[in-house]
Amino acid sequence: MQAFPTLLIASIVALGAVASAQAQAQKEPAKIAVVAAQNFYGDIARRIGGEHVNVISIMSNPDQDPHLFEATPSQVRDVADAQIVIHNGGHYDEWMEKLLKAAPRPKRVVINAAKIVNAKHGGNPHLWYAPATMPAVARSIAAAFSQADSAHAADYTQRLGETLADLDRVSKRVAEMRAKHAGKPVAATEPVFGLMADALGLTMRNQSFQRALMNETEPSARDIAAFESDLKTGKVKALIYNKQVSEKLADRLLSIARASKVPVVAVTETQPAGVTFHDWMLGELDALDKALTGPNS
């Protein structure tokens, strides 16, 4: 019992020494320190900032359930040190709003996507799935970079142009698919794709079921029954599901959909590793296009 506290204190001191050595090694001159709450915003920031910025994305693992998130001490430290913080806002990441208040920093620029696109209070929080969101956020990011580092403003403007051109491919694809599929009924296990479905003009069914699953409560018996009958009778043309959240009920609906030959489209809430934001969106749109043009539609 006597030896234990000494051991504990010794190990804490040792860890402290390691941590401060790391901190010193990381000090490099004059990169803009950027923290993005979610990796899709971080991806856009990295594209626009290039080698002039150092971007840390807090939520970047597409296999992690983003609804059950708790910041670790080092993540809070990153937020405290960041000159520019980008987050979704609108109740999606209230933890970030709390961290910004807990770790204040003078002259920090906060880019809140929900504020930029004027998102409706209490509406669908998955704003990056609305085709208009990312171009607006990209413009704000470029403006913030140019302000923080005017010497490289020309670089930021040029890369903003390239980024907007890529994002425009997504908007064009949406318009093209809307012309083809508008009005078709689809179902989803979660509202993550909801804003994109709206942009495509699809009719989204079973919305109260999706809300319950997102908030980890039980959907009502009536909601489940309606959902199952939609799938079994082929009332919906495709089932969209959030690959990132594993849920028994969602799994069951997937197997019903497969048995009833309703095409299933997997989407993710966080950007997968190794693809850019626009490729991620275009890939999901292609999969949906294929599902909606299948023999059952």
Q: Which residues bind another protein (CB under 8 A)?
A: 1, 4, 8, 12, 15-16, 19, 67-74, 76-77, 80, 91-95, 98-99, 101-104, 122-123, 125, 211-212, 214-218, 220
In the complex with another protein, the residue whose CB is nearer, 77 or 205, is 77
Closer residue to another protein, CB minimum distance, 1 or 151: 1
- Residue 189 amino acid letter: T
Q: How far is the CB of 226 from another protein (least distance, A)?
A: 16
Name the minimum Å distance from CB 89 to another protein.
Answer: 11
Q: How far is the CB of 278 from another protein (least distance, A)?
A: 25
Q: Which amino acid is at 180?
A: K
User: Toward another protein, which CB reaches closer, 92 or 145?
Assistant: 92
Query: Rounded distance, CA 175 to CA 194, Å?
Result: 16
- 103 dihedral zone (left: phi>0; alpha: psi -120 to 50; beta): beta
Which pair of tokens denotes residue 130? Answer: 């609305």
Instruction: For the CB of residue 105, give the shortest distance to another protein in the complex, in Å.
Output: 8
> What CA–CA distance (Å, rounded) separates 251 from 138?
36
Extended strands (E) in the chain? 32-38, 53-59, 84-87, 109-112, 185-188, 203-205, 239-242, 264-267
Three-state DSSP at 57 gives strand
Toward another protein, which CB reaches closer, 24 or 217?
217
Contacts of 96 (CB under 8 A, 6+ apart): 37, 58, 79, 85, 87
Minimum distance, C-beta of residue 263 to another protein, in the bound complex (Å) = 28
Q: Which is nearer to another protein, 146 or 270 (CB)?
A: 270
